[in-house]
């Protein structure tokens, strides 16, 4: 089984040049970004950036996030973002910064026909609440940050498997394995039936390693260490007795 063909891969980032290059790759089936990634990429004008992204992604799904903290303002921003293109999914955080659930916003946007991507979920109860809120939506995604679950020392796979089962009753909803930490996560996502995984450019570069012969990889690693040592001019001065 080739995991790359059983789970959809969405490129995660905000570097427009990189997104333009990835848009030419048929393996990439969608794009996601967020305010943190945009800040790191130096994005200053949100709408200009978004419209440039939309011009290069060839109609594939792309997620843009609201940045309001008030629930009413979130909804207004969501409607504006959605108006930028039919392939826009509006990212709504699972709560605001005060911990207030955004379920009312999800309900409203679902009724209005907005494609939603609920983001920053880490628990199964959050998935259940989001799924119910979006049960009448025409299309939506639920992003569980599996990588952040793993960062706490917990295995994210049981949570993600349970999330897949939870969402089976809503065929229009897709589960996203967000914030992966290693290429193995792509295989894990595929094995449990997760619909989508977001992958950074650094991880995308490693996809060619899937199925690589481990003996060959071991030899290549040895050669890399040797060649880098030579290039760095590293040396060990041996005692005279040893040299003799």
Which tokens sit at 89? Answer: 């999914």
Alpha helices by DSSP H, the chain: 16-22, 35-40, 46-56, 71-82, 103-111, 124-133, 146-151, 156-166, 184-191, 201-204, 214-232, 240-243
Is 91 an active-site residue? Answer: yes
Phi/psi region, residue 113 (left: phi>0; alpha: psi -120 to 50; beta: rest), is left
Predicted structure pTM score: 0.92
The predicted structure's pLDDT at residue 54: 97
Residue 179 · residue 200 · CB < 8 Å: no
The predicted structure's pLDDT at residue 55: 97
The predicted structure's pLDDT at residue 240: 78
The predicted structure's pLDDT at residue 243: 57
The predicted structure's pLDDT at residue 210: 87
Kindly give the confidence (pLDDT) of every residue in the chain, 244 residues in length, as a single tens digit, with 9 standing for 90 and above: 454 448 999 999 999 999 999 999 999 999 999 999 999 999 999 999 999 999 999 999 999 999 999 999 999 999 999 999 999 999 999 999 999 999 999 999 999 999 999 999 999 999 999 999 999 999 999 999 999 999 999 999 999 999 999 999 999 999 999 999 999 999 999 999 999 999 998 898 898 898 899 999 999 999 999 999 999 998 888 887 755 5
Which tokens sit at 131? Answer: 């799924």
The predicted structure's pLDDT at residue 239: 85
Catalytic residue among 91, 206, 212, 231: 91
How many angstroms from the chain centroid is the CA of residue 161? 17
Domains of the chain by range and CATH?
Answer: 3-211 (3.20.20.70)
């Amino acid at each position: 089984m080739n995991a790359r063909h059983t789970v959809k891969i969405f490129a995660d980032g905000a570097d427009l040049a990189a997104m333009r290059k990835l848009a030419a790759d048929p393996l990439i089936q969608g794009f996601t970004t967020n305010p943190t990634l945009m800040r790191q990429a130096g994005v200053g004008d949100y709408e200009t950036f978004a419209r440039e992204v939309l011009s290069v992604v060839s109609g594939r799904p792309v997620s843009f996030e609201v940045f309001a903290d008030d629930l009413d303002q979130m909804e207004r921003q969501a409607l504006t973002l959605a108006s930028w293109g039919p392939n826009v999914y509006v990212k709504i955080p699972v709560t605001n910064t005060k911990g207030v659930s955004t379920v009312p916003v999800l309900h409203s946007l679902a009724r209005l026909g907005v494609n939603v991507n609920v983001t920053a979920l880490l628990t199964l109860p959050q998935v259940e609440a989001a799924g119910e809120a979006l049960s009448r939506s025409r299309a939506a995604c639920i992003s569980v940050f599996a990588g952040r679950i793993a960062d706490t020392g917990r295995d994210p796979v049981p949570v993600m498997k349970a999330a897949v089962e939870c969402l089976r009753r809503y065929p229009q909803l897709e589960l996203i394995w967000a914030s992966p930490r290693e290429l193995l996560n792509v295989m894990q996502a595929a094995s449990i039936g997760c619909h989508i995984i977001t992958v950074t450019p650094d991880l995308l570069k490693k996809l060619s390693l899937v199925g690589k012969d481990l003996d060959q990889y071991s030899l290549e690693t040895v050669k890399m260490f040797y060649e880098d040592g030579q290039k760095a001019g590293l040396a060990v001065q041996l005692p005279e007795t040893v040299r003799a």
